[in-house]
Amino acid sequence: MANPGIADNQFLETELNVSAKRTETLFRILFMVMAGLLILPVLIILTTLLVKGSSIISFDFLFTSPTDGMTAGGIFPALLGTVWLVGVALIISVPVGVAAAVYLSEYAPDNWFTRAINLAIINLAGVPSIVHALFGVGAFVIFFGFGTSILAASMTLAVMTLPVVIVATRESLQAVPQAFREACWNMGATRWQTIRRVVLPNSVSGILTGVILEVSRTTGETAPIMFTGAAFFIPVLPESVFDQTMALSLHLFVVSTQVPNVPEALPYGVALVLISMVLLMNSASIALRMHLRGKKKW
């Protein structure tokens, strides 16, 4: 075998092959273990929350107000407040983000202006949320005079999540084959007619996915709303965007660190509700994407 002169069969394994195979196996296992490790934190977080928090979850917990200095009662104002904050943030960021993405993907020529916008988006995505919080205070609370309110907090969240919406939308617009646009233009359609009749209808799935991801990210944010519109404790429910509100994420922070004598299950219960909302929306986004992708063909 080592002597090619005899060469009865040239296709037999050599020592070089053996060592290559050994290395191959080693690296495959190494990479697999690393990838497998990812599951651990998810499992640990979920089981801990379930074990320690599920006992407190009940209809009353979800739908009544906190009592006894937030050491008992439910979380309804915080739950509702999170819905308000996320909802208003969406109403602001989705139109702006989608419009900006449509411009960048369908209209923008390659010039310094476009490059400047792209640079701004990248940088906006990298700004830490605490900096967004300070920006929100300066811009929305003080300069525009919204005060600490749902409006100011939601606008801060909207600015923060805008890059997510823009990038997701732009990617799904660019996934629409160029041939469709050419077909339209050659029949005399304007850019807008092309966008409205062909490009947007074929990219909604991606856009929706981006929007849902934004929602789930917004739901958990604490820093940006802390100084701009969310409060530790408010006995009444918000009635308009100019009211302050409680929020789940901040409530979790408060009951975990700021209030004495909280029963152990309470913070875990709040965390469980928060993470369930996020996971639910992520799953919805995945399901929606698969459903819509199954329907389109090109």
Q: Applying CB under 8 A, which residues contact another protein? A: 109, 179-180, 182-190, 193, 197-198, 202, 296-298
Smallest separation, CB 109 to another protein (Å)? 7
Closest CB to another protein among 181 and 289? 181
Smallest separation, CB 189 to another protein (Å)? 6
Smallest separation, CB 178 to another protein (Å)? 9
In degrees, to the nearest 5, what angle opens at C-alpha 158 toward C-alphas 151 and 193? 115
Smallest separation, CB 198 to another protein (Å)? 6
Rounded CA-CA distance 294/281 in Å is 20
**Would you give the distance in Å from CA 131 to the centre of its chain?**
18
Smallest separation, CB 213 to another protein (Å)? 25
Closest CB to another protein among 278 and 292? 292
φ, ψ for residue 187, nearest 5 deg: -95, 5
Smallest separation, CB 203 to another protein (Å)? 11
Closest CB to another protein among 41 and 109? 109
Closest CB to another protein among 148 and 202? 202
Closest CB to another protein among 82 and 202? 202
The closest alpha carbon to 207, from 159, 172, 180, belongs to 172
Single-letter amino acid code for the residue at 118: N
Tokens coding 40: 């651990």
Closest CB to another protein among 63 and 185? 185
